[in-house]
Amino acid sequence: MSQLDKEHIAGVFKNIQDHICTALEKADGLAKFEQDRWERPGGGGGRTRVIRHGHIIEKGGVNFSEVHGKTPEKILESFGLKDGDFFATGVSIVLHPENPWVPIIHMNIRYFEMSTGTYWFGGGIDLSPHYIDKTDATFFHDKLKAVCDKHDENYYPEFKDWADNYFYIKHRKETRGIGGIFFDHLSEGKDHTKEDIFSFVKDVGLSFAPIYTHLMSKNAVKPFGQREKQWQRLRRGRYAEFNLVLDRGTKFGLETDGRTESILMSLPPEAGWEYDYTPSSNSTEAETLRLLKKGISWNS
């Protein structure tokens, strides 16, 4: 029987939130996180931390939540669960940079359990560049593969495919970005204990800061103009479409009476839509669209 309890998991997730916020403030060099503590009427609460108007980060959030209570009927039906109380904790991050050459990034690590004994871990990290830089894509995927391979060499190919399929905007027939890894409903089995899985989830969380601060410092010095900002707004529009129409985490948060402001902090500060926009055929924008496909191998 595992001795790993939900209080310990939540405490580690809080520490990961602290670690990431400290690293991002240092890398940005200007903006500081504002913290908003909140309580959920049905039980639990969280720490929403928002950063705005920085040298590099225009808007972002690094959120921690720890909620519990009676499980909503929609959740029971969706996951085929027996009636009981639930507990859920996690860290969720979305960062929207000022400079269009710096990519949007998202990470989520989470733990869910029922009073009936059912539990699982989930999470992932994915990158949504406004302009795809193949060197950055290789760096990003190599780092994620290294984290996965440390725990199970089957993780990266499985979770990379999962991300390609999950972060796919069906109505646009394009991926949200260059993917990453995504996993859900991980629980102990013949190959991994609960502690094994939690160790992997922790390492995913701790990989975030070194990966993204590298991409921040490398790309934030690149010049940009109105053309790049217009394209950034269009790509942010795609990001918003996915989060509002398709993202399961957004739906889960709203259906469990989570804090709306915290759930929707993933939306960009400014986005745009143009009717039937098509970039010129040989442009960097067109090249990015050509690479928003499933199944691309980005590793070195």
**Residue 39 CA to its chain's centroid (Å):** 23
Q: pLDDT, tens digit, for every residue of 35-50?
A: 999 998 889 999 999 9
Tell me, what's the pLDDT at 2?
59
Window from 20-24, 181-185, 196-200, 248-252 with minimum mean pLDDT: 248-252
Structural contact between residues 108 and 123, judged by C-beta atoms closer than 8 angstroms: yes
Phi, psi of 96 (to 5 degrees): -110, 115
Q: What is the pTM of this model?
A: 0.94
Q: How many domains does the chain have?
A: 1
What average pLDDT does the segment 213-222 reach? 98
Q: Looking at the domain assignment, is residue 253 inside a domain?
A: yes
Report in angstroms the alpha-carbon separations of 224 from 52, 127, 188, 244: 20, 20, 48, 29
Query: Rounded to an integer, what is the distance from CA 1 to the centroid of its chain?
Result: 31
Q: What is the CATH number of the domain that holds 236?
A: 3.40.1500.10
Tell me if 252 is assigned to some domain.
yes
Share of the chain above pLDDT 70, in %: 99
Q: List the structure tokens of 77.
A: 């039906």
Give the per-residue pLDDT at 58.
98
Q: What is the mean pLDDT of the chain?
A: 94
**Is 192 part of a structural domain of the chain?**
yes
Percentage of the chain beyond pLDDT 90 is: 83
- pLDDT bin (cut points 50, 70, 90) of residue 16 is very high
Residue 79's pLDDT is 77
CA distance 211 to 2: 32
Give the Cα separation of 201 and 182 in Å (integer): 11
How distant is the alpha carbon of residue 84 from its chain centre?
28
- Residue 155 within any structural domain of the chain: yes
Asked if residue 297 is part of any domain, the answer here is no
Q: pLDDT, tens digit, for every residue of 48-59?
A: 999 999 999 999
Q: Is there a domain that residue 199 lies in?
A: yes
| Residue 141 falls inside a structural domain | yes
86 part of a folded domain: yes
At which residue do the structure tokens 């989470």 appear? 110
| 106 is a catalytic site residue | yes
Q: Which residues form the domain of 162?
A: 6-290
Candidate list 96, 106, 130, 141, residue with the active-site label: 106
The residue-averaged pLDDT of 143-172 equals 97
